[in-house]
Chains A and B, each alone.
Chain A
Amino acid sequence: MPDDALGLPYSVPARREPVLPNGVLGMLIFVATEIMFFSGLISAFVIGKSNAIGGWPPPGQPRLPVEETALNTAALLASGVALYFANRAFKRGDAKTKRLLLISIVLGGFFVVFQGAEWVALIGEGLTVTSGQLGGFFYLLVGTHALHVVAGFIILLYTYRKLLHDDLDRFTFWPAQVFWYFVVGVWPILYWQVYL
Chain B
Amino acid sequence: MAEAGTAETHGAHAHDAHHEQGFWSKYIFSTDHKMIAMQYMFTGIVMALIGGYMSYAFRMQLAFPGQSVPGYGLVSQGEYNALVTNHGTIMIFWVAMPMLIAAFGNYLIPLMIGADDMVFPRINRLSYQIFLVSALVLIGSLFVPGGGFGGAWTAYPPLSSSAEYSLTPLGSTLWLVAVALEFVAFLLGGINFITTLMNARAPGMKMYDIPMVLWMIVVASVLFMASVGPLIAGAVMLFMDQVVGTGYFDPGRGGDPILWQHLFWFFGHPEVYVVFLPAIGIVAEIICTFSRKKLFNYKLILYTVFATAIISFFVWAHHQFVAGIDPRMANVFTITTLIISIPIAEMIFLYIATLYGGSIRLTTPMLWALAFIAEFMIGGITGIFLGASGSDIYFHDTYFVLAHFHYTFFPIAIIGFLAGITYWFPKMFGRMMNETLGKIHFWGTIAAFNSIFIPLFILGTAGQHRRIYNYQNFPDLADMQGLRVFATTALLVMLAFQAVFLFNFFYSMFKGKPAGKNPWKANTLEWTTTSPPPHGNWAELPNCYRGPYEYSVPGREEDYWPQDVPPDTAPAE
Q: Which residues of A contact B (CB under 8 A)?
A: 1-2, 4, 7-22, 25-26, 29-30, 32-41, 43-44, 47-48, 51-53, 58, 91, 129-130, 132-133, 136-137, 140, 144, 169-171
Contact = CB atoms under 8 A, between A and B. Distances in A.
Nearest to B122: A10
Contacts of B375: none
Given A8-B122, A29-B190, A129-B240, 13 more contacts: A11-B11, A18-B199, A21-B10, A22-B195, A26-B120, A36-B230, A37-B229, A38-B229, A47-B262, A53-B254, A136-B247, A170-B3, A171-B6
Nearest to B260: A44
A153 to B, nearest CB: 21
Given A40-B229, A48-B259, A133-B253, A2 B203 contact: no
A12 B263 contact: no
23 contacts: A2-B10, A8-B123, A12-B11, A12-B119, A13-B12, A13-B14, A14-B7, A14-B11, A14-B200, A16-B200, A17-B7, A25-B199, A30-B187, A36-B228, A40-B232, A40-B266, A44-B233, A44-B237, A48-B255, A51-B256, A91-B1, A132-B247, A136-B247
A29 B116 contact: no
B195 A26 contact: yes
Nearest to B119: A22
Given A15-B203, A32-B225, A47 B259 contact: yes
Interface in B524-573: 541
B103 interface: no
B198 interface: yes
B230 A170 contact: no
Nearest to B263: A40
A35 B228 CA distance: 11
Interface in B245-265: 245-248, 253-256, 259, 262-263
SS of A interface (majority): helix
B386 interface: no
A13 B536 CA distance: 12
B10 A33 contact: no
B431 interface: no
B535 to A, nearest CB: 13
B229 A44 contact: no
A2 to B, nearest CB: 7
Interface string B71-112: 000000000000000000000000000000000000000000
Nearest to B235: A40
B119 A11 contact: yes
A41 B9 CA distance: 41
Contacts of B478: none
Contacts of B115: 12, 15
B15 interface: yes
Contacts of B200: 12, 14-16
Given A9-B119, A22-B195, A136-B246, A171 B228 contact: no
B226 interface: yes
Contacts of B229: 33-40
A160 to B, nearest CB: 19
Given A18-B198, A44-B248, A140 B9 contact: no
Contact of B231 (A40, A51, A144): A40
Nearest to A17: B7
B234 A40 contact: yes
Contacts of A17: 7
Contacts of A133: 247-248, 253-255
Contacts of A1: 9, 12-13
Contact of B245 (A15, A47, A130): A130
B256 A9 contact: no
B201 A16 contact: yes
A177 B405 CA distance: 44
A48 B246 CA distance: 13
Contacts of B118: 12
A144 B236 contact: yes
Contacts of A10: 120-122
Contacts of B247: 130, 132-133, 136
A169 B119 CA distance: 18
B230 A40 contact: yes
Interface string B2-27: 11001101111111000000000000
B135 to A, nearest CB: 22
B194 interface: yes
Nearest to A11: B11
B230 A26 contact: no
B248 A22 contact: no
A115 B227 CA distance: 30
B202 interface: yes
A32 B229 CA distance: 9
A13 B199 CA distance: 10
A13 B15 contact: yes
A37 to B, nearest CB: 3
Contacts of B226: 32-33, 36
Nearest to A25: B195
Nearest to B3: A170
B271 interface: no
Contacts of A7: 122
Contacts of A21: 7, 10, 199
Interface in B38-64: none
Nearest to A29: B191
Contact of B194 (A9, A12, A18, A29): A29
Nearest to A90: B3
B201 A39 contact: no
A51 B39 CA distance: 46
Contacts of A12: 11, 14, 115-119, 121, 200
B230 A48 contact: no
A51 B263 CA distance: 16
Contacts of A34: 229
Contacts of B191: 26, 29-30
B248 A48 contact: yes
Contacts of B3: 91, 170
Contact of A169 (B6, B202, B228): B6
B233 A11 contact: no
Interface in B443-491: none
A33 B9 contact: no
Contacts of B199: 14, 16, 18, 20-22, 25
